[in-house]
């Protein structure tokens, strides 16, 4: 299981800002009873979401990947569009977000790369540009 979450206590204004930018978990879940079917979804709390799914499905639901992203709904919709030919309709909570996959490697790798871009590459580019602007570089 991969989990990227480091924001635990934030002040009220910061939380409002994160809500505005749709900052939530995107997760990939599996279930022991339904082999080769994986759920791609979003939630504020992966633990609560896993419990609600377990209450509507038999078997044990387990987390494969979870990370917080800005604009989580758009990323989730993109992944659902990409995997729509592999849709595996299920009963219960989040029934349209399950997909047939032998291994959930592709969405997990995609989300990991996107997380790295979001938290490493973009801030580095912004810092470099700020440095150049502050030190009089001309473009």
Question: Mean pLDDT, to the nearest integer, of 28-37?
Answer: 92
**Which pLDDT score is estimated for 94?**
76
Q: Write down the residue that tokens 């810092």 correspond to.
A: 127
**Which pLDDT score is estimated for 74?**
93
Q: Write down the residue that tokens 């592999």 correspond to.
A: 86
Question: Mean pLDDT, to the nearest integer, of 113-139?
Answer: 83
**Which pLDDT score is estimated for 4?**
52
> What are the φ/ψ torsions at residue 32 (nearest 5 degrees)?
-65, -25
> What are the φ/ψ torsions at residue 72 (nearest 5 degrees)?
-60, -40
**Which pLDDT score is estimated for 3?**
57
**Which pLDDT score is estimated for 30?**
93
Q: How far apart are the first and last CA of the chain?
A: 44
Question: E strands along the chain, which residues?
Answer: 2-4, 24-31, 37-43, 61-69, 98-100
Q: Residue 27 above 70 pLDDT? A: yes
Confidence (pTM): 0.78
């Amino acid at each position: 299981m991969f989990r990227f979450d480091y924001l635990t206590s934030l002040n009220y204004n910061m939380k409002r800002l994160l809500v505005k930018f749709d900052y939530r978990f995107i997760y990939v879940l599996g279930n022991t009873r339904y082999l080769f079917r994986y759920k791609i979804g979003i939630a504020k709390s992966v633990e609560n979401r896993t419990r609600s799914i377990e209450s509507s499905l038999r078997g044990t639901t387990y987390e494969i990947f979870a990370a917080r992203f800005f604009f989580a709904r758009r990323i989730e919709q993109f992944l659902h569009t990409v995997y729509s030919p592999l849709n595996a309709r299920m009963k219960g909570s989040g029934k349209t977000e399950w997909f047939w996959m032998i291994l959930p490697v592709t969405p997990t790798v995609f989300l990991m790369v996107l997380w790295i871009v979001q938290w490493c590459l973009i801030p580095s580019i912004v810092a470099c540009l700020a440095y150049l602007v502050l030190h009089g570089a001309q473009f």
